[in-house]
């Protein structure tokens, strides 16, 4: 990996700030810190109400761990292609950047397709709706809001992809991609927590 160009970019961007950190990047980190509290509150709500549903269906009745594992794997891989896209851009390889960024977006969209499929199965096949019990309420809200985050991320990635054809994405402006990448990795990480807490604990602890 050629890190020198990255370093130069950052030096270029940040020579005016007090800490030497780029202000946009700092803002992104602050936003992500804030978003931690956001998802933390949603997950806490889920946990508080875990096992409190008065009627079924319950997590053990609906979750299909193998299928969700596949979509989780796809989302995890999209983080890797995001890293590859950023690194390609920093090496000046615009073609590589386009390939990897569109792969990331496609994998994100695949994850969303899985989620739509899963939601439809739950509602139509398992009769788990957001209204039927507390599990449905907390599950659909938590995972649905995460899905909205992924959707916004996919739109952001696609915007970068198309913008690159108009010369808007260059190694000098790799920070634009870096910010999207930070967001994307964060959304992935939140999913890992949701997958563990909601899906795995839900099935293996038998709530």
Partner 1 sequence: MTLLALSGIARPVHPTGIWGWITTIDHKRIGVLYGVTAFLMFITGGIEALIIRIQLGGPESNIVSPEVYNQLFTMHATTMIFLGVMPMSAAFFNYLIPLQIGARDVAFPRLNAFSYWTFLSGAIVLKLSWFLGGAPNAGWFGYAPLTGSAYNPGHGVDFWIIGLQILGVASLAAAFNFLTTIINMRAPGMSLMRMPLFTWMTFVTNFLLIFAFPVITVALIELFMDRYFAMNFFVTSAGASPVLWQHLFWIFGHPEVYILILPAMGIVSEILPTFSKKPLFGYPFIVLSGVVIGFMGWMVWSHHMFTVGLGPVANSVFALTTMLIAVPTGVKIFNWLGTMWGGTLEFKTPMLFAVGFVFLFIIGGLSGVMHAIPASDAQQQDTYFIVAHIHYVLFGGAIVAIFGGIYYWFPKVTGKFLDEKIGKLNFWLMFIGMNITFFPMHFLGMDGMPRRVYTYDADMGWNLWNGVSTAGSLLLAFSFLIFIHNVVRSLRKGEVAGNDPWDARTLEWSISSPPPEYNFKEIPHVTGIDQFWIDKKENGKVVSENSVEVDEHSIHLPQPSYWPFICSMGLLIAGYGAVYISSTVGIIVTAAGFMVTMFAVYAWSFEPVNDPENSY
Q: Does 48 bind partner 1 (CB under 8 A)?
A: yes
2, 3, 8, 33: residue in contact with partner 1 (rule CB under 8 A): 33
Q: How many chain residues bind partner 1 (CB under 8 A)?
A: 35
Q: In terms of CB distance, is 52 or 205 closer to partner 1?
A: 52
Residue 58 makes contact with partner 1 by CB under 8 A = no
Cα(41)–Cα(177) distance, integer angstroms: 29
Contact pattern for partner 1 over residues 118 through 137, marking x by CB under 8 A = ------------xx-xx-xx
Quick check: helix, strand or coil at residue 1?
A: coil
One residue of 7, 11, 30, 116 binding partner 1 per CB under 8 A: 30
Residue 114 CA to residue 107 CA, distance in Å, equals 11
Among 3, 23, 67, 69, binds partner 1 (CB under 8 A): 23
Q: Which residues does 207 contact at the CB level (< 8 Å), separation at least 6?
A: 50, 51, 58, 59, 60, 201
Residue with smaller CB distance to partner 1, 66 or 167: 167
In the complex, the smallest distance separating the C-beta of residue 183 from partner 1, rounded to whole angstroms, is: 14
At CB < 8 A and 24+ separation, what contacts does 6-11 make?
Answer: 6/90, 6/174, 9/90, 9/171, 9/172, 9/174, 9/175, 10/175
């Amino acid at each position: 990996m050629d890190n020198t160009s990255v370093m130069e970019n950052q030096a270029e961007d940040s020579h005016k700030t007090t800490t030497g950190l780029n202000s946009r990047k700092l803002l992104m980190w602050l936003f992500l810190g804030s978003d931690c509290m956001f998802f933390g509150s949603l997950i806490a709500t889920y946990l508080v109400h875990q096992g409190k549903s008065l009627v079924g269906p319950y997590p053990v009745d609906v979750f299909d761990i193998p299928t969700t594992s596949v979509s989780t794997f796809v989302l995890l891989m999209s983080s890797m292609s995001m890293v590859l896209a950023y690194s390609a851009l920093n090496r000046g390889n615009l073609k590589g950047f386009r390939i990897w960024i569109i792969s990331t977006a496609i994998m994100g969209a695949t994850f969303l397709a899985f989620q739509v499929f899963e939601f439809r199965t739950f509602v139509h096949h398992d009769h788990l709706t957001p209204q039927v019990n507390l599990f449905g309420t907390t599950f659909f809200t938590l995972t649905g809001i995460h899905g909205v985050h992924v959707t916004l991320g996919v739109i952001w990635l696609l915007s970068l992809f198309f913008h690159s054809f108009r010369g808007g994405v260059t190694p000098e402006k790799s920070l634009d991609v870096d910010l999207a990448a930070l967001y994307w990795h964060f959304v992935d990480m939140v999913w890992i927590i949701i997958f563990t807490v909601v899906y795995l604990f839900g099935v293996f602890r038998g709530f």
